[in-house]
Each structure stands twice: as structure tokens, then as C-alpha cells.
Amino acid sequence: MFSIQNTETDNPGSASWAGFYRPTSVGGRGECPFSPELIQVFSAEANDKRFAMSDEGTAANLEKRRFTLKFPDVSPAKDNAPLIRVTEMYLNRAEALAAASGVNQESIDLMNALRKRAGLTEWSITTFATADELITAILNERRKELCFEGHRRMDVLRKGQSLRANDPEKKAGADKVILPIPQREIDLSPALKGHQNPGY
């Protein structure tokens, strides 16, 4: 729906999407490979076409890792920067409807449009017994569909979950999970005094 258009001169050097997300073996920085947890999520259902949009290469630490192909243009770094995609709108609506109305046909239909496109088995209204089960499944689809686009951290925090599995120190509300409010902003806005983010 909306993305930032880039040209050959907009993203010089390695400070581009592909610069971060492609392996060193093809000229990227190799800093953002698939995590083992993300590979496990994709492995739960075989033949997901979204996982096929990846390959292996050398990471920054010289390990062989899996990398996304969403942003392939290391040079001259012309990949567009997606801000909001139609698929995100499907995911947003499906989750909101499930939160408001429980297991419902419209959420199922919205998700099936994405799952069919990804080559996965479609859901039915009887696939989920509760709204929580459906929302968890939608969030799982969201993780796969929008991976490497900057959504996962905020999705985890807005659900009150931990940024690292089984680590309470990385949970929403824990010290230093959110960056500090800059001192300049506190100085300019007296109402912020005494309301610094936890841990600072």
C-alpha cells in the first residue's frame, strides 16, 4: 500500500535493507540472519512459500546461516522500504475481529487468503476452539508474513510477552526494554519529570 521508493543514489554503501539482511558472501553485512526460533516457526508447516524466499550464506560472525531474499539488491541498494502492506491490513483486521468477536468466519477468510498464497492448508471455523487460539495463530502468521520488516518487537511488547523466550528481564515493562526518554524532552516538558521509562 505504501513504501519508500529508493534509487541508486538513495542508499549508498551498506546502510540499506539488503546491506543488513544479506550475507557477507554476496556483499551484505550478514548481521540479520534468521533466528533459530523463526526457522522453527516456519518448520511447523512444510512448503511455506515465504520460507522459500531465503537462502544460506555467511554471516558477520563467519557462521553459515539462513537469510531473507526480501531485499536482494545489495548494490546499488534500490530495494523499496515497505511501510505498510496489504497483507498487514488483512492481519490487523483478522486479529481485531478475533479480539472483538472470538472465532469468526471473516477472520478465517482473511487468513486463508494469506495462507493459500503461501501454499498452506486453509483453516475452517472449527480449526480453533477459542479466540485465544485463533489470535495466537494469527500472530504466528504475522510473524512469518512480516518477518524482517520491523514488526516483531512491537508485536511481542504489545502482547506483554518477553523479547527473549523465558527471560523475564526482557518482558514488556521490565527495566531498559524501552529506550529512555531523552533528557532534552524532559527539560522541555515538565509533565514528563518523574515519568522516565523503567530502568533509567
* pLDDT per position as a tens digit, 107-162: 999 999 999 999 999 999 999 999 999 999 999 999 999 999 999 999 999 998 88
Stronger pLDDT, 60 or 17, i.e. the higher one? 60
DSSP collapsed to 3 states, the chain: CEEECCCCCCCCCCCCHHHHHCCHHHCCCCCCCCCHHHHHHHHCCCCCCCCCCEEEEECCCCCEEEEECCCCCCCCCCCCEEEECHHHHHHHHHHHHHHHHCCCHHHHHHHHHHHHHCCCCCCCCCCCCCHHHHHHHHHHHHHHHCCCCCCHHHHHHHCCCECCCCCHHHECCCCCCCCCCCHHHHHHCHHHCCCCCCCC
Q: Indicate the pTM of the whole model.
A: 0.87
Please give the CATH architecture assigned to the domain spanning 85-159.
Alpha Horseshoe (1.25)
Domain ranges of the chain: 2-83, 85-159
